[in-house]
Chains A and B, each alone.
Chain A
Amino acid sequence: MPTERITAAFDRAKVDKRAVLVSYLMAGDPDLETSYEALCALRDNGADIIELGAPFTDPMADGPAIQRAGLRALAAKTKLTDVLALIARFRESDQTTPIIIMGYANPVHSMGYGAFAEAAHKAGVDGTIIVDLPPEEDSPLREEYAKYGLSVIRLATPTTHEARMKKVAEGASGFLYFVSVTGVTGAGSADPAKIAGNIDMARRVSGLPVCVGFGVKTGAQAAEMAKIADGVVVGSAFVEHAEAAHESGDLARAPQGMGALAKELSSAIAGVAKP
């Protein structure tokens, strides 16, 4: 069922002739209750798919904004089991919005791939993006996921040439996450014209929808990316609202700010008609 939930989200967008909005937030940033409210706000304001970050002490592919988000979540003692419990809670009232866990290998490895896959399935997770598990290393995890139909969502980048893309596509499901720039999260944005060819190639080789992320912060940027991709991923810009809420002490600002941003992004994306 999980992969179906992702596929259904792309199907709904296709009927509307638009790209999907994938929104990222860090679980437990600054606390789990705020994350729950934020999940609901994102869903209510047009996020088609939600990526929920699982914090890690050493996030080597992330820029400063998401590094700080992870540190706030860890300071609130957020564990991987808490991330799963948060998703289970969200699933009580939402059976349609796909939730993807995004994180690093060690916490999952520490729980054990089999135990994690079972727990993720029970919680209502649809798939994961494990940044430091490339195709060469994720087969033990994939075997466990296969028991529950969980998706392995892979990353492709501007350095992924066509031969490599075949490897990346092998065993991937749900969608392909195209990292638009060589760099960390929250860095500068890519020129859509420069990556359009890579995205076409990724779609052709993988047969999966391709979502573009890294460096997309505004409605205008999202609209540009929506022209060339099947979905647009926004992360650091959402996370900045959690930071602002944490710093102001008014945690309600996190779901409010994230909801408003999701609304801006989803309307901008809806304004780009897809064939």
Chain B
Amino acid sequence: MDVRNAWDQWPDVNGRFGEFGGRYVAETLMPLILELEAEYRRAQKDPEFKAEMDDLWTHYVGRPSPLYFAERLTEHFGGAKIYFKRDELNHTGAHKINNCLGQVLLARRMGKTRIIAETGAGQHGVATATICARFGLECVVFMGETDVERQKPNVFRMRLLGAKIVPVSSGTGTLKDAMNEALRDWVTNVDNTFYCIGTVAGPHPYPELVRDFQSIIGKEAREQILDREGRLPDVIMACIGGGSNAIGLFHPFLEDESVRMIGVEAAGHGIETGEHAAALNGGRPGILHGNRTYLLQTDDGQILDAHSISAGLDYPGIGPEHAFLRDSGRAEYLSTTDKEALDAFQLCTKLEGIIPALEPSHALARVGEVAQELGKDGLIILNMCGRGDKDVFSVAKHLGVDM
């Protein structure tokens, strides 16, 4: 096995992060992912690619996103200073667009004219549909039937943006089933289609390239905190579904050994109930959707349905790099129940005037304990990866409010 020590040198040439990752796909897709990897290597060396990304990041997405001192939340907990990295202020309201922009630019380089994507909460679907509209590309979004129902505002947004929505009824009609259906579409339309994966999962090189595009979050945050506080943070925190916003924040800090990294998984009704989406805390290694990683599965290797109040975290797996960071001890992974996330959602809204998405509400629910543990001298950055506008209807329902 490869014994490199540098945390940021993974994946290896086989797309592995230690024992995780890889390329577990049907043979039809192998030539495509090898071609994608080759194109990505060329793009990485091409200053024009970087210049185009930077220009659109600045003028279209609205980067850099601010690093905000959450003063009232800090006072509320009475511990470490809490900063929010405000990726919810990006165009389309979440971190997802960082990655979509990169992938669609790659697709254009490869001459692909049709973009497909899977989506859970709809944020990745909206971001993909947005970039496709911007470049005049055909866009097809696969979305679980259950999610189409609970994320109606995003479904309408995608349609307005010109995307075709394909509701997926196979399995349980959630994110994993949408991903299966997107893969089926991809093997069928290999010539003109680019699969824009929304998280740091899938076969190599997706976990690497999605991470690289999302790493803008951590790069900016690192510079901003050094500028504001003159030192590195003690803890950086983010919620985890597939884990793209977390890895985007974590990756540029990996070599800073003093910085603790905390990912927060969705515990749904509680890990002990079996109804959750916490692959690291409640799963074991397996193979799904192109990579080897921690999965929720039965003793017989059948994939279990995840459960979370947040459609964006409702996935039975996790990006392979997180599996690697957990097993190697570089990052810690906690979990938050649906109820705790709802409470944190309301607390942040009232104290900071920021309505967070339900996804980062999972990280918010754990930030108080961490702040108190660190004490007043501590410094925390929490990735506010999405805004909660999309969630107000489902939150109202959970709070028993009739809109």
The residues of A with any CB-CB pair to B shorter than 8 Å are: 55-63, 67, 74, 79-81, 104-111, 131-134, 136-137, 154-157, 159-161, 164, 168, 179, 182-184, 187
Contact = CB atoms under 8 A, between A and B. Distances in A.
A60 B177 CA distance: 9
B28 interface: yes
A109 B302 contact: no
B185 to A, nearest CB: 9
A95 B299 CA distance: 31
B189 to A, nearest CB: 8
Interface string B71-107: 0000000000000000000000000000000000000
B288 A58 contact: yes
A179 B28 contact: yes
A157 B187 CA distance: 10
Given A132-B287, A136-B14, A184-B184, A109 B27 contact: no
Contacts of B63: none
Nearest to B170: A67
B188 A187 contact: yes
B397 to A, nearest CB: 29
A156 B14 contact: no
B24 A133 contact: yes
Given A60-B179, A109-B287, A110-B301, 17 more contacts: A60-B180, A105-B24, A106-B286, A106-B295, A106-B297, A106-B301, A106-B303, A108-B301, A110-B300, A111-B301, A132-B290, A133-B24, A134-B26, A137-B24, A155-B27, A182-B190, A184-B187
Contacts, number: 114
Contact of A109 (B170, B180, B301): B301
Nearest to A167: B30
B188 A159 contact: no
A108 B302 CA distance: 10
B312 interface: no
20 contacts: A57-B171, A58-B180, A58-B303, A60-B289, A81-B300, A105-B24, A107-B300, A109-B301, A110-B300, A110-B301, A132-B290, A134-B25, A134-B26, A137-B22, A155-B27, A160-B27, A179-B28, A182-B187, A182-B188, A182-B191
B183 interface: yes
Contact of B299 (A56, A110, A161): A110
B188 A183 contact: yes
Interface string B300-318: 1111000000000000000
A29 B292 CA distance: 28
B366 interface: no
A246 B297 CA distance: 27
Nearest to B34: A164
Contacts of A161: 31
B23 A61 contact: no
Nearest to B182: A60
Nearest to A161: B31
B253 to A, nearest CB: 31
A137 B23 contact: yes
A184 B189 CA distance: 11
A109 B295 CA distance: 12
A159 B302 contact: no
Given A137-B22, A159-B28, A56 B302 contact: yes
Contacts of A179: 27-28
B176 interface: yes
Contacts of B27: 134, 154-157, 159-160, 168, 179
A179 B28 CA distance: 8
Interface in B171-203: 171, 176-177, 179-180, 183-184, 187-191
B14 A132 contact: no
B187 A106 contact: no
A80 B301 contact: yes
B171 A182 contact: no
Contacts of B302: 55-57, 74, 106-107
